[in-house]
Every structure is written in C-alpha cells, then in structure tokens.
Amino acid sequence: MAKVSKLGSVLTVAILVAIVYIIYTISQQSHRSKVGPSLKISVGEAKARRFGLIIDVRTPKERELLGYYPNSIPISPDTLSQQVPLDISNKNTWILVYSNGDNRAPIAAEILYRMGYPNVRYIKETYLSLMPGSV
C-alpha cells in the first residue's frame, strides 16, 4: 500500500512539473511574439536624422565627469514615464536615447516605445560617437 501511495505522489509531482513547463513555454512564446521592432540605430543613421529630443540616461555624475551631447536632456530611466510626457506631447516626435554603451539606453528606448512613442531609437555607443568629426 505504501508503494502505491509513493507512486501516486511521484506521478502527481511529475504531472505538476509538466504543467508548469507547458505554461512557461507558452508564456515565453507569447512574450517573444509581442516584441516590437528593433529600436537600435547606427551612429551614421543617428547623425543623418533630425531628432526632436535627445535623452541622456546616464547619471548626473557621469554627465559631469564625461560631458554630454549638446542640448541633450538628462532623464533617469526610473523617471522616464513621468518626465517625457512633460517634455514631448507629440508622440510622433523622433527621440534618440544614449548612455555609456551599456544597457540603459536600450531599456529606456523600450520603455518609451511601450509608452506610445513609435519613433524612439537608441545608439549602443557613447555620445562621443555622435560628435562632429567622430568616425
């Protein structure tokens, strides 16, 4: 009788694991299908396009120590959803986001895209690559 009970418990756990795995797999496929367009833009494309807003998502200390792109606006990724609507009411405005080549710019661009700004783009490189005379 104990063997039957043990087998039933093992079978129940196996079924639960299979159900969790199936749900996880379906949710991952669903998430992948909702991913929007690539928001990354090359430095050359960024230099050729006119942006209505350039957002620097680095810290104030980084801006102070490393400088910043002229007329860029410092906005923390944590406060994007509160600050950007105040700066840009037209959701079709072209927006460029940059950081120090880390993941902050792509994350910020994705947040803005999900907020309804379809023309947001980011560069993976630093702002120095946008400066006149840079290659």
pLDDT one-digit tens code per residue, 53-103: 999 999 999 999 999 999 999 999 889 988 887 767 889 999 999 999 899
Rounded distance between C-alpha atoms, residue 24 and residue 119, angstroms: 32
Query: What type of residue sits at position 68?
Result: Y
Q: Provide DSSP, 65-81.
A: HH---TT-EE--GGGHH
Tell me, yes or no, whether 23 and 86 share the same domain: no
Q: Domain containing 49: what range?
A: 43-130
Strands 53-56 vs 73-74: parallel, antiparallel or unpaired:
parallel
Domain of 70, CATH number, reads 3.40.250.10
pTM: 0.70
Alpha carbon of residue 76 to chain centroid:
13
Has residue 135 been placed in a domain? no
62 and 107 belong to one structural domain: yes
